[in-house]
Structure 1
Amino acid sequence: MDRFISAEWMDIAAEAVRGEVSMAELEARLQLDISAASVRVKTRGILSRMWLSSSAAQIGVAMEAASIIRREGDAAKPAAYCSVAIAAYPYFAEVRETVGRLLRTHETCTAGEIHRRMFERHGKRSTIDQATSYTFKTMLSWGLLTRSADGRFLLPTDLTLSRDGFALINQAASIYRQSPQELASGEPLLTGFRRSWV
Structure 2
Amino acid sequence: MNSSAPQIGFDRFIQLDWAVAALNVRAGTAGLDDLNALLDAAGLGAEAKKKTRTVLNRLWLEPRAELVDFADRGIAIHKTQPAVAVAALCWGMAVATYPFFGKVAELVGRLSAIQGDCAAAEVHRRMSEIYGEREGTRRMTNMVIQSQASWGAVERVERGKRVIRRASTAIENDELTAWLIEAAVRYAGKPVSVTSLQSLPVLFQFILTRPLAYVVSNSPTLDLRFEGPSNQFVALRVPL
TM-score over 0.5 (shorter chain): yes
Rounded to whole Å, the distance in 2 between the matches of 1:13 and 1:74 is 18
Tell me which moved more, 174-183 or 139-148: 174-183
Q: Residues 180 and 23 from structure 1, CA distance in 2 versus in 1: closer, same or farther, beyond 3 angstroms?
A: farther
Of all paired residues, the percent bearing the same amino acid is 30
Amino acid of the structure 1 residue aligned with 2:110: R
Matched, 1:92 2:104: no
Amino acid of the structure 2 residue aligned with 1:68: I
Tell me which moved more, 120-129 or 74-83: 74-83
Tell me which moved more, 66-75 or 30-39: 66-75
1:31 is aligned to 40
CA contact (8 A) 1:68 1:76 kept: no
Rounded to whole Å, the distance in 1 between the matches of 2:208 and 2:67 is 24
DSSP-derived class of the 1:194 partner: strand
1:153 is aligned to 163
* Cα distance per residue 1:106-149 (max 9 Å; x no partner): 32112212111111222221100011000010001111213457
1:197 is aligned to 210
Amino acid of the structure 1 residue aligned with 2:188: R
1:8 is aligned to 17
By relative contact order (CA 8 Å, sep 6+), the higher-ranking structure is: 1
CA contact (8 A) 1:57 1:175 kept: no
Tell me which moved more, 99-108 or 48-57: 48-57
Alignment of 1:1-198 (within 5 A): 1-73=10-82, 76-147=85-156, 152-162=162-172, 163-181=174-192, 184-197=197-210
Q: Residues 154 and 54 from structure 1, CA distance in 2 versus in 1: closer, same or farther, beyond 3 angstroms?
A: closer
Instruction: Measure how far apart 1:191 and its partner are.
Output: 1.7
DSSP-derived class of the 1:3 partner: coil
Instruction: Measure how far apart 1:78 and its partner are.
Output: 2.6
DSSP-derived class of the 1:104 partner: coil
Instruction: Measure how far apart 1:182 and its partner are.
Output: 6.1
Instruction: Measure how far apart 1:70 and its partner are.
Output: 4.0
Rounded to whole Å, the distance in 1 between the matches of 2:65 and 2:140 is 26
Rounded to whole Å, the distance in 2 between the matches of 1:112 and 1:175 is 27
Give the helix-richer structure, 1 or 2. 1
Rounded to whole Å, the distance in 1 between the matches of 2:136 and 2:79 is 36
DSSP-derived class of the 2:112 partner: helix
Number of aligned pairs? 198
The runs of 5 or more residues in structure 2 that have no matched partner are 1-9, 212-240
CA contact (8 A) 2:168 2:204 kept: no
Give the alignment's TM-score, normalised by structure 2: 0.74
Q: Give runs of ≥4 in structure 1 deviating > 6 Å.
A: none
Amino acid of the structure 1 residue aligned with 2:202: L
Give the alignment's TM-score, normalised by structure 1: 0.88
CA contact (8 A) 2:96 2:184 kept: yes
Rounded to whole Å, the distance in 1 between the matches of 2:170 and 2:84 is 7
Larger radius of gyration: 2
DSSP-derived class of the 1:153 partner: strand
Rounded to whole Å, the distance in 1 between the matches of 2:38 and 2:30 is 12
